[in-house]
Every structure is written in structure tokens, then in C-alpha cells.
Amino acid sequence: MGPCPTAKSGKSIMVHIFQEACMSYKRLLPTTVALLLAACGSSNGSTTNLKPVFFRTVAPAPVATLTMQRQNGAPMTQAKVTLDTHATFDGWLKVGRGTSVKANASGVAALALASGTWAMRISSGVPQSTALVGELSDSLSISADTNRTYQTSQQSWTVTSPVAVKALEVVIYQVDGSGKASYGTTDAPLDPVVLTANPAVPGGNATSVTFSTELFKGSFRAVITATPVASTDNVAPFETAVINAAGGGATEPQSVGLASGGNLVSLHFADSGGAAVPDAQIGTISIYDAGSLVFLNSGNPSGGVATLSTGAIGPVVAVVEGPNGETLAATAYTASPTHTATLTRYTVAGHVKPTGSAQLTASGNNNYGSVDAALQTGLGAFWDARVQGAPSVAKITDAAGTWQAKLFGGSYSLKAVALHNLPPSAPVAASLSADAPTQDIAVDPGGVISGNLQDESHNNLAGGSVSVVDSSHATIGSATSDATGNYSIAVPFGTYEVFAGGALTQNVAVSSSAATNTLNLTRFQITGRMTDAALGPVAGTIYF
């Protein structure tokens, strides 16, 4: 999706299920095509102005031929290659689709791609009952026909334990140059875990376990956890150093010695007055390896205290959830050998206050709205993007905007939402290290983005989805058009992007001097044909 060229009115129109096509020629999947599109009409639907606008011929695409082999040279006949071939518009919008191809009987997959660099994932397709073969995240740069061979190397593992174990779990994840899990970027996220397996333990009772894995060339770490036979025994989770798999058919021995006991994190939960937080008000405490986000352990408090083993791993992050799944705390610790910390919960209260003469009103069920308190971990973008859970929610109890919540110490983004007669408030930053009885939240009366949805024959369109997004790409509000095609969304003063069924209208502003912005949108049908260089028909799909 992307901006349609604007009409003289300065507003963009919608085309075919509200998806614009005026930029689509830039996003065609590789093939030699000529595309006939319709021109944009006016924003109020009074003139459709449909006409052919251009043909475009795309040069033949380069082909990537990828050969996948196991360590012994056998072809991976069930391998699958997946590439993120979405185009990115406006720096964040994904357009088009991904591409995936299965290997043939020779373990070969061929893909025609547009020139560029694409994120790629290779899955071996080998069932774990046959062999433990990991996946691989890689990038493929292509500007001409290219050939690559991906062959695994074999890791021969010997894992010993001080006590008999009945089960073993191995999680192998891919790492970057600093040894941290490769999660990619916000625009191109990656799953770092390439293999999760439960190697067989001889007789379900052994102190030594041997098994083999296969990994493509790359850098990895493994987290190994064991379940003792005796419930009174304890075996600490273990994380390996970086494993540099050579690929190319090599054999690489790996030895791991597990240990009993291990490091501990002991967390005490207390209210600001010193009393223990009731256990029922705390959900699950989960411990993660700080470098990879690989899960290590979890538990629940007893008497306001939760003590969890981190095994042989020192740097960890503890994530505390509430009984409804909300994120209450996320804190980094170094457990070596025992780290004790107290998490203090404070009372935060105040009023949601409309500015000017506006007042809060309740909906039919006496609901005035609520305040969302979203934890800001302070651990960096890596953790903010992956640990941030549902916010804590406090109800607004009366027309004076009264609200109260109990939050653990830390940084929060507070926002009044679901107000019956007003738009949501702007986020308010709050840093808690003591009770905060006067944490008020101002609500700008804001304005309204409203309009009508029609098709090209001027029929009103009911059930159309319209949403408003701010400059940080957060959704401010949304609505569904009624039986007459009308919609209305209350928003704070500002400039926004409006989506309707996938199409984008930019720079839609409301202000104190222009509190209502009327945006009428028309859906058009686009027809055309794809041809090869000789104008012969080409079957395919066009994405907007």
C-alpha cells in the first residue's frame, strides 16, 4: 500500500477494496510484465476519471539456485526456502508477500527474485525421528543468476550429569557477531531458535547422554536443561559458549558437563508499607537468559517470595506477570551465586482531566473509560520489543476522572483510553519510586476525522474498516462504517495517516482551528492485464 497521487482537493482516494494501485508497478513480483491500471478519481467520488495510465515492462529476474545437503552429502529432498520479499513503503509498511520454494528430489530450490538483498530462512524438512537438523537464517543478495550450496556439519554431543536424568531438552539458537541471539531488526525480524529437540535418554535413566545434531554454517549457542529421575535432585540449566559450525560436511565434537544446584534469583514482593504482596495478585515469574531471551525457568511466589534457579547462567532477566497476563516488572539480574532483590509496589492515583470546558461522560453501562499503564523496561529496544506485555489497567470510576492503580517501581507510559466522549490522552511518562497520589492525566478535547465510504457507483458501503495511525505508527482510533457508509473517529489534535481497508491517506490533520476533518473515500475497481514482452498473457497475482 502507499499514497495515491492526490486530486486537486488534496485528498487521496481508495481503489478496489480501498487498496491503491498508483504505485503498484514498483512492487511487481519478478517477471516480464506490462500492467494496465486505472487512474485515481476524486476524493468525494463525484468524478471517477478512470483511464489507462501506463504500461511498464520489468526486466527478466535473476534466478537463485540453492542446493541443500546433509552432512553426509545426502540431498535434503524436503527442504524449504522462505524469503521475505515484501516491499517496504513509508519506512514501515510491508507490501506484497513472502516467497517460498520447496526443494526437488535433488535438494535443489530455484527462485526468481528481484535484484536486492532478502532475508532468508532454510528449513531442512528432515523429521526429528531421522536426524536433529537445525534451520538457518541468512540473507541472499542477488543481482544476477547465482548458485549456492548449503551443507550441514555434524555436532557429536556428550552430555554428562552428576545425577541420573530421565529427560533432556536442547534449544539451539543462532547468534550475531557479539554472541547474542539474532532477532534481526524491527522491519525484518528473525526467529533465532533453529532447533528444539529432546534427545533420547537411554532407558529414561542415565548420567551420560550422547546424540548428534546437524547445523548449517554459522554461529550458534545451545541451552541444555535436564530433568532428574529423583524429584529431590536438581540439575542446573547450562548454556554453551558460541558454537561456530563449519558446515561443508565437517564433524564437530561437543562436550557438556551439567552440575547440580546452580545460581539463584530470590525475589521479594512488597507494598510500599512493607506488607507482602498477596500471592494471588502475582502471576508467573519467568527467568530468561539475558543474551538470548531463551526461557530458563518459571515459578510462582509463596508468601510474597519467589526463588528460582538460573543454573549455570549468570546474567538473566526476570519478567513478572500479573494474574491477567499484564507485565508487572522486567528487571535484569546477575545470579552469582544468589541474587536477592525486593520489588516494591506503589499506589498511583489521580484524575483524568479534560482541558477547556470538556467533561467526562459515561457510556450506558456507567463506564467512564480506563487508564493503561504500560511498563517501559529500560533494558533497551531489544527487550522492550520482546517482553512488553499487556498494560496494567485501572478503571476511571466517576465523572471527576478518578483512577487508582498499584504498580511496581519503574518507568511507565500512562494513557487514558476508551473514553466515552473524548479521544485518548497523549501518553504521560511516569517514573515510580514512591507512592504517587496526584498523577493527573490531561485529555485534549481533540477533534474528529469522519466521512463516508462509497463505491464508484455512489453506493454507500457498510462495514468498512477505517483506522487512524500516528507518527509512531501506533493506532489512535478505529471505526466501522455504518449502514449509510458513515464513520467517525475521535482523535487528539495532530496529523495522522488514515487506513481504510488497506489503502493509505497521509497528512490528515485536526487542530483547534479545524477540529473536524471530513475524509470521504471512494472504492474503485481496477482491471488490467499482464503480458510478456510479446504481449502474450501472463498468469500471476498483483499485490497492492
- Spatial distance between the Cα atoms of 389 and 395, rounded to a whole number of angstroms: 19
Q: Among 118-122, 164-168, 310-314, which stretch is predicted with the lowest mean pLDDT?
A: 310-314
Confidence band, pLDDT 50/70/90 cuts, at residue 187: low
CB atoms inside a 10 Å sphere around CB 518 = 12
- The answer to whether 518 touches 489, Cβ cutoff 8 Å, is no
Query: Looking at per-residue confidence, does 443 or 95 come out higher?
Result: 443
pLDDT at 22 over 80: no
Angstrom CA distances, 129 to 133, 198, 463, stand at 10, 11, 49
Strand arrangement of the beta sheet that strand 116-123 belongs to: 99-102, 80-84, 116-123, 136-142
Residue with cell 470521504: 520
Distances (CA, A) of 378 to 278, 286, 382, 385, 413: 26, 18, 10, 11, 12
- Residue 419's alpha-carbon distances to 362, 404, 429, in angstroms, are 8, 16, 20
**pLDDT tens digits for 391-441?**
889 999 999 999 999 999 999 999 999 888 888 888 899 999 999 999 999
Cell numbers describing residue 313: 547462567
Cell 517482553, residue? Answer: 387
Q: Is 371 helix (H, G, I), strand (E, B) or coil?
A: strand
Q: Residue 12 pLDDT more than 50? A: no
**pLDDT at res. 358:** 80
Q: What is the pLDDT of residue 59?
A: 58
The predicted model scores a pTM of: 0.71
Cell numbers found for residue 419? 473514553
Tell whether the model's pLDDT for residue 9 goes beyond 60.
no
3-state secondary structure of 203: helix
Percentage of residues in the chain having pLDDT higher than 70 = 84
Q: Average pLDDT, stretch 162-175?
A: 95
42 versus 398: the higher-pLDDT residue is: 398
Report the alpha-carbon distance of residue 189 to residue 135 in Å, rounded: 16
Q: Where are the beta strands (DSSP E) in 242-357?
A: 243-245, 251-257, 263-271, 285-289, 295-299, 305-311, 315-321, 327-334, 338-354
Residue of 135, 147, 235, 145 lying closest to 191 (CA atoms): 135
The CA radius of gyration of the chain, in Å to the nearest whole number, is 29
- Regarding predicted confidence, which is higher, 259 or 528? 259
Which set of grid coordinates corresponds to residue 226?
535436564
Give the three-class secondary structure for 24.
helix
Q: In terms of Cα–Cα distance, which of 488, 478, 419, 417 is closest to 448?
A: 488
pLDDT at position 234 = 84
Complete domains list, the chain, with CATH: 1-50+447-491+493-535 (2.60.40.10), 63-150 (2.60.40.1120), 154-257 (2.60.40), 263-343 (2.60.40.1120), 346-442 (2.60.40.1120)
Say yes or no to pLDDT of 48 above 90.
Answer: no
Strand segments, DSSP code E, in 409-520 are 410-417, 428-432, 441-443, 447-455, 465-469, 475-480, 486-491, 494-500, 503-510, 516-518
Number of Cβ within 10 Å of residue 251's Cβ equals: 11
Q: What is the mean pLDDT of residues 23-47?
A: 31
DSSP-based three-state secondary structure for 202: helix
Q: Is the bond leading into 162 cis (omega within 30 degrees of zero)?
A: no
Task: Compute the distance between CA of residue 468 and CA of residue 473 in angstroms, rounded to an integer.
Answer: 9
Residue pLDDT, tens place only, 199-210: 999 999 999 999
